[in-house]
Amino acid sequence: MLAAAYVTAVLLAWLLLARFADRWWPVSMLMFGPRWVLLLPAIVLVPLTFATRHWRSLLAVVAAAIVVLWPVMGWNWAGLLTNDIEQRDLRVVTFNIGNSHATEHRVTVEDLRRLYDISRSDLMLLQECSFGKDELFPFFSDAQIYATDEACLLSRWPIIRTDVRPRDDLQSLGANGSIVSFDIDAPHGKFTVVNIHLATQRPGLERVLSRSMTGGDAMRVAMLARRLDSAAAFSWSLRSPLPQVVVGDFNMPVESAFYKERWHGYGNAFSDCGLGYGYTKYEKRFGIRIDHVLYDRAWRCLAAQVDPGLGGDHRPVIADLRLRR
């Protein structure tokens, strides 16, 4: 009986995440929360069903635990099937360095230079970047530099156009994400890269966790802001006719209805080429993948990984892309 209840609960959680994440705020709580807690009943049920020799129940519990570890928690196998031997056209790094609110570890320019060198990136795009061009230039005199509006770009190739989305167009609704588009003149041809940092769900989550009577309303308001920001970023990415790469802190995992609504036509580097969970944002007891490298059909992915990072609560995503010939 307990095993059947556990299997039912796991399958229900899987269904809810797949169909109702960011459509119904309680499911969004599950989406942004520690999904590993769904494994806790299995820790008790596996030895219990084994000791009582209820083999069917044991197999059902183990199967449910595998569902939690794989699709529910987001384990990705695609990296086992990709071929990264081909020569890449672009290695891009996206990293929310978190300096606008850092209280403990603050990422330094020296840290960024080490990441730039170790990753051998062609483009490194940063969010919550509080450094000015004058601070970055002594360490990146060999790169093209853009630094403003909490967004930075370090490029080995010329930046031929910059298009910054005004942040006051949706501020009254709480949507004020940073969106900056760049046209890059690379040896293999010109392309556009969009650096985004969209609105967060944190205000709603914190209100619910504080047991406020207005927690549900706060969740819905934050969800609306995220949906509007996602739509604005998608529209901004369409302003250029060149091949597109869209990177940054989306503040939404791939299960989100807002992600599926706007970005389903783009490839996701870690989803297509990564191996493992690929968590990019860490809280005290769990991680979640909310930072992404996306690309349109002009590109294909050769490899993707999440770097251990420089000590902040986000991790850099590194992706190798190649233009379709």
Phi, psi of 108 (to 5 degrees): -100, 165
What is residue 148's predicted lDDT score, i.e. its pLDDT? Answer: 85
Average pLDDT over the chain, rounded to an integer: 93
Residue range 236-289, pLDDT digits in tens: 899 999 999 999 999 999 999 999 999 999 999 999 999 999 999 998 889 999
Distance CA 188, CA 251 (A): 31
Q: For residue 91, what are its two tokens?
A: 């290695």
Contact between 125 and 92 (Cβ < 8 Å):
yes
Q: For residue 102, what are its two tokens?
A: 């850092």
pLDDT at 303 exceeding the cut of 90 = yes
Residue with the two structure tokens 């080995």? 156
Strand order in the sheet with 244-249: 159-164, 178-186, 189-197, 244-249, 291-295, 267-268
Q: Which fold has domain 78-323?
A: Deoxyribonuclease I; Chain A (3.60.10)
H helices of the chain, in order, are 2-20, 25-32, 40-51, 55-67, 109-119, 133-136, 202-209, 215-237, 257-263, 269-273
What is residue 101's predicted lDDT score, i.e. its pLDDT? Answer: 58
Which residue ranges make up each domain of the chain?
A: 2-72, 78-323
Q: For residue 72, what are its two tokens?
A: 């529910």
Residues present in the chain in total: 325
**Percent over 90 (pLDDT), the chain:** 81
Phi, psi of 14 (to 5 degrees): -60, -45
* β-sheet bridge partners, residue 126: 95, 152
Distance CA 306, CA 93 (A): 10
Radius of gyration of the CA atoms of the chain, in A = 21
Contact between 190 and 183 (Cβ < 8 Å):
yes
Q: What is the value of pTM for the model shown?
A: 0.94
What is residue 175's predicted lDDT score, i.e. its pLDDT? Answer: 74
Contact between 249 and 314 (Cβ < 8 Å):
yes
pLDDT at 173 exceeding the cut of 70 = no
The total of other beta-carbon atoms located within 10 Å of residue 325's CB is: 5
Residue range 17-39, pLDDT digits in tens: 999 999 999 999 999 999 999 99
Q: For residue 190, what are its two tokens?
A: 């010109």
For the ranges 39-43, 85-89, 128-132, which has the lowest average pLDDT? 85-89
